Amino acid sequence: MNFQIEGGHKLSGTIGVNSSKNSAVGLLCASLLNKSKTTLTNVPKIEEVYRIIEVLESIGVKVEWNGPSLTIIPPKKLKLSKLNEESAKKTRSIVMFMGPLAHLLQAFKIPQTGGCKLGSRTVAPHLFALKKLGINILTKADAFDVRVKKLHPGEIVMYESGDTVTENVLMAAAKIPGKTVIKFASANYMVQDLCHFLELFGVVIEGIGTTTLTITGVSDMDMPVRYTLSEDPIEAMLFLSIAATTNSKITIKKCPIEFLELELMKLEVMGFKYKRSKEYVSENGFTKLVDIVTLPSNLVALDEKIYARPFPGLNIDNLPFFVPIVARAKGQTLIHDWVYENRALYYLELSKLGVNMLLADPHRVFITGPTKFKAAEIICPPALRPAAIIMIAMLAAPGTSLLRNVYSINRGYEDIANRLRKIGAKIETIKN
């Protein structure tokens, strides 16, 4: 599937922020902990969610859509031998099956992880952390071989402050009676979503939103629960980037402000103008939201480099969205993407759209603006955020661009072409 984009037009109107891919896949994995029915509401209909559902269904889990809600009903016994390996290999989220399955099986295998191709992405933090709870993992060429000894609580110092590894340990610790402490945990939005979900079962979690979590687990989870996912700060940043790059006035509703404050601060210093509403609370009862009205702005480059850090730093997934923004700004900006080996290389695709870029090394790229964007034909890279910023730059480029093979974008953003059309984007979906 391809996007044909007639760019160079200012956008206007209102667009709402959906719930997050990362929260959705984590909670789908966590539903395996519950012996009873789990209902998740406000679930995005995206390819990444579909892949996890396909895996769950293949091992006997019943999954039903009801509008934006999902009902997950586990079987009496999982059929792991029937696991849909093709779907599993398309998502890195499959690694989060380790924590829940450790409570159901003493020995099992899951396929090697897939998802975005961003270079070496070690699973060592999962192995080190889960071993502290009695879960041993042997990495093979095509699979993870998991062996469960007697599960027990523990004190874990994270080898890396990662989102999925923190979620994996949380899910394992949630059904181990006693106190487990996770130090240098991720405090990111999807981890907070998972914590609040686990609290529904009586799991006591101290330190939510901080880097030290203390989990007092329960012996069993067997009760119907309903949980509403929080809104996605990464999708909110996508729309902020679109507004800044196309110099448009749009209203972005339901922005989770606690996870956007530093990004907005950087934009303010660059000269980005916007208005924000008073805070209100999401349907889930705890996520703080605002509506943001973006305004046409003259942008200037920051003197300092832009780089990401674990929350509460600038979000690692939000860093790419600064690339098309700084391309519009006057002056030179250094983007330092230290986390992934390959992601900065994908940024160079924007040079085909007229962006003046200089790659310093696989992690650092200098961008000099203001850019006179031009139309081009580009094949989507196999990574969600780099693919999305090419789409953003095409929206700013006068003429007709073609973005080929947009599966990477559809992994994370629901019905994005249609939603952008509603705020004036001239974007059409064309089949190969």
Question: What is the maximum alpha-carbon separation in the chain?
Answer: 63
Decide if pLDDT at 167 tops 60.
Answer: yes
Domains of the chain: 2-18+231-430 (3.65.10.10), 21-228 (3.65.10.10)
CB 194 within 8 A of CB 213: no
The reported pLDDT for the residue numbered 426 is: 98
CB 301 within 8 A of CB 323: no
Rounded Cα distance, 229 and 407, in Å:
23
The continuous run of DSSP H or E covering 127 comes out as helix 124-131
Q: Please count the other Cβ atoms lying within 10 Å of the Cβ belonging to residue 182.
A: 27
In one letter, which amino acid is 271? G
CB 411 within 8 A of CB 391: no
The reported pLDDT for the residue numbered 121 is: 53
Rounded Cα distance, 403 and 430, in Å:
10
CB 382 within 8 A of CB 409: no
Band of residue 119 on the pLDDT scale cut at 50, 70, 90: very low
Structure tokens belonging to residue 271? 């000269």
> What digits encode the pLDDT tens for the residues 335-386?
999 988 888 999 999 999 999 999 999 999 999 999 999 999 999 999 999 9
Give start and end residues of each alpha helix (H) in 175-274: 189-199, 233-246, 261-269
Measuring CA to CA, which residue among 93, 52, 51, 56 is closest to residue 73? 56
Measuring CA to CA, which residue among 65, 122, 111 is closest to residue 88? 111
Burial class (CB in 10 A: 0-12, 13-18, 19+), 183: middle
Structure tokens belonging to residue 116? 């975005």
The reported pLDDT for the residue numbered 187 is: 97
Rounded Cα distance, 31 and 171, in Å:
10
Decide if pLDDT at 116 tops 80.
Answer: no
> What digits encode the pLDDT tens for the residues 225-278?
999 999 999 999 999 999 999 999 999 999 999 999 999 999 999 999 999 999
The reported pLDDT for the residue numbered 120 is: 46
Structure tokens belonging to residue 27? 């909670």
Decide if pLDDT at 152 tops 60.
Answer: yes
Q: Please count the other Cβ atoms lying within 10 Å of the Cβ belonging to residue 404.
A: 14
> What digits encode the pLDDT tens for the residues 197-209?
999 999 999 999 9
Beta bridge partners of 69: 66
CB 251 within 8 A of CB 237: no
Provide the phi-psi class of 232: left if phi over 0, else alpha when psi is between -120 and 50, else beta: beta
> What digits encode the pLDDT tens for the residues 271-324?
999 999 999 999 999 999 999 999 999 999 999 999 999 999 999 999 999 999
CB 418 within 8 A of CB 15: no
Of how many residues is the chain composed?
A: 432
Rounded Cα distance, 321 and 327, in Å:
11
Strand segments, DSSP code E, in 151-248 are 155-157, 178-183, 204-206, 212-217, 225-228
Q: What is the CA radius of gyration of the chain?
A: 21
